[in-house]
Structure 1
């Protein structure tokens, strides 16, 4: 992020613990200095964003500046969470990148219809994941202008 003193927070919502840990490791490998938080499903994602339940202690802290969202999760899937986030005036400006295994045209179209900012299919190898994280980092934190945090 140009001109920012503190790197923005990245929040990943994915029910697969291996995918969460591999992505965390890819961020380390890419040397991105962003805080990286994870949640396991859409319910936990919305609790995190609204600072409810186990996330209440985050009240008053900055919201994530980027959400990596899996589509297929239990309790509340990524599509439902995406719809809720993009319909909430306090959350809808947070950029969301769908990061999923689905290459289904229906999922791609529906995600964009719901307001996703980017749709990316999860890479198969760790080296491809590291390269994807580098590209995402360059794009979201060096190229684009993100909206300022609301105060």
Structure 2
């Protein structure tokens, strides 16, 4: 007999963060606002370039700071090779950080961008919405999937 699955996992989002790597200031604002409206108690750590984001993750690995639960990565930073290089750098930091899901969040729907991103180890690829209501819908879906459906590894240096 199947027991009903509860949508909420107690304490799952408590003190959690999402690391966002996005070079477009307008998209940074949209993403931050959508996260605030969709995720209760989740901090958006927004970085405008890959160097700052990778340095933050390295600091987390070295000092035991709380790791983000999810990474949203704009592929074109400003070139797609920058996004792919960021994925490689993140995966090389260490096993705890390599287990954090990386969702490429791009304006590009080009087949080669999608295929190459998966070949380089991203967890998901999503095309960015075009208006704020679509951004909110996307982040509600993101929350339902990553916070309430999927079970992620509990890394040793994270406190979520």
Is the TM value for this pair above 0.5? yes
Q: Highest Rg: 1 or 2? A: 2
**Cα distance in 1, alignment partners of residues 105 and 97 from structure 2:** 19
CA distance in structure 1 between the partners assigned to 2:29 and 2:73 by the alignment: 15
Q: CA RMSD in A?
A: 2.3
SS at match of 1:139: helix
Q: Name stretches of at least 5 consecutive residues in structure 1 with no aligned partner.
A: none
Where structure 2 has 5 or more consecutive residues not aligned to the other structure, the ranges are: 1-7
Do structure 1's residue 11 and structure 2's residue 6 form an aligned pair?
Answer: no
Contact 1:10–1:67 under 8 Å retained in 2: yes
The 3-state SS of whatever aligns with 1:120 is: strand
Distance 2:32 2:89 in 1: 25
> Do 1:99 and 1:119's aligned partners in 2 also have CA atoms closer than 8 Å?
yes
1:77 maps to what in 2?
82
Determine if the alignment matches structure 1 residue 38 to structure 2 residue 42: no
2 CA distance for matches of 1:33 and 1:11? 14
For residues 132 and 98 of structure 1, the distance between their equivalents in structure 2, rounded to whole angstroms, comes to: 13
* Runs of 4+ more than 3 Å apart: none
CA contact (8 A) 2:39 2:143 kept: no
Secondary structure (helix, strand or coil) at the match of 1:90 reads: helix
Residues 1:68 and 2:72 aligned together: yes
